[in-house]
Structure 1
């Protein structure tokens, strides 16, 4: 199920999110704090997506 969405979940969405948050933080002149917050959000995002992906793979192997 997740195999088709792998590129968008793991590559495209996080890069777009990081670039948008970083650019807006430089515009607001609060770059350092916002970059750390963005990296923390991305770390949580990657953890959540990888857990979801591993559960999905486990279910596929269990059903086949």
Structure 2
């Protein structure tokens, strides 16, 4: 196990075959509809980052025709 300290908190990743991976680490706070991204929320202790996070929210990708103003 490898630890990485970042401004929001400490994450635990895995090293395998000489490669260290941190999976499922949030890079921003949960999205608010039509608002710019906010920094990730801080956490206490050590957060496991050894498995992928949840999949992205389903819907129309930003910039798709349905999202552009007419």
TM-score by length of 2: 0.28
Q: Which structure: greater strand fraction?
A: 2
Q: Relative contact order, CA 8 A, sep 6+: which one is greater?
A: 1
TM-score by length of 1: 0.30
Q: Which structure: greater helix fraction?
A: 1
